[in-house]
Amino acid sequence: MPQLSQDSQEYLQKHFSRPSIWTHFLPLFRAQRYNADIHQTTENEGDSRAVSDFKPMGSERMEMRKRQVPAAPDAPGAAPGQPGVGSRGSNACCFCWCCCCSCSCPAPTLEEVNAWAQSFDKLMVTPAGRNAFREFLRTEFSEENMLFWMACEELKKEANKNIIEEKARIIYEDYISILSPKEVSLDSRVREVINRNMVEPSQHIFDDAQLQIYTLMHRDSYPRFMNSTVYKDLLQSLSEKSIEA
């Protein structure tokens, strides 16, 4: 093996020994590390800004709902607001346009409660029956089915085109949209028809969907309601009052 000259050995020791190599590359390493840290910090700041600017999906619609809900009257005898465009009437809490609160429903009679067991139609035809059934649906986390059905009933009563369009839009957002927490269960065919007709909605735009939800409540929820403590306790209470009278 050939021997290196003295000058070559000194050159190698000077320029390629471990200390000199580290001294040569250390500034470059530090510069690259600094640039990487700056880049990462910039990305993190961008992510923080993105997170702070991000709003959950549907937040704008919730703000719109808050603006649409009329303020509660200060005086106990204050007259409730009238339903109209951009308003849900006095019963804004459930986002429909019907008097479905328990305070507005007359107390059912024993005859009515007994009739509820005869057919689902007889249950749904009375305000007290709908209210009792709705209370039961709330315990099963399916109250939106009744709210949707009642909102459709109120929509059918409208004749003003502007009000129909506004109510149809709100019903769609509340019960048809896949982004709504109260979306009802509909098949794709019915949903597609509604989507097409929303361009120019009529008071009957949700008829097929309403029938589908009515059938669903009749088939699934009604039998459980008849065997529930909600119905049995009400029937027993009215029977005892009838005996005492």
Q: What is the SS3 assignment for the chain?
A: CCCCCHHHHHHHHHHHCHHHHHHHHHHHHHHHHHHHHHHHHHHHHHHHHHHHHCCCCCHHHHHHHHHHCCCCCCCCCCCCCCCECCECCCCHHHCCCCCCCHHHCCCCCHHHHHHHCCCHHHHHCCHHHHHHHHHHHHHCCCHHHHHHHHHHHHHHCCCCHHHHHHHHHHHHHHHHCCCCCCCCCCCHHHHHHHHHHCCCCCCCCCHHHHHHHHHHHHHHHHHHHHCCHHHHHHHHHHHHHHHHC
pLDDT at 243: 87
Residue 193 pLDDT class (50, 70, 90 cuts) = very high
pLDDT at 167: 98
User: pLDDT band at residue 106, thresholds of 50, 70 and 90?
Assistant: confident
pLDDT of 72 higher than 80:
no
pLDDT at residue 59 is higher than 90: no
Top-confidence residue, 104 or 213: 213
Pick 223 or 23 by higher pLDDT. 223
| pLDDT value at 7 more than 80 | no
Domain boundaries, given as residue ranges, for the chain? 114-244
Q: Per-residue pLDDT for 5 more than 90? A: no
Q: Per-residue pLDDT for 36 more than 50?
A: no
Confidence at residue 108, expressed as pLDDT on a 0 to 100 scale = 92
Architecture of the domain delimited by 114-244:
Orthogonal Bundle (1.10)
- The C-alpha torsion from 145 through 124 and 245 to 235, rounded to 10°, is -50
Mean pLDDT of 69-86: 38
Arithmetic mean of pLDDT over the chain: 74
pLDDT beyond 70 at 154 = yes
Q: How confident is the model at residue 233 (pLDDT cuts 50, 70, 90)?
A: very high
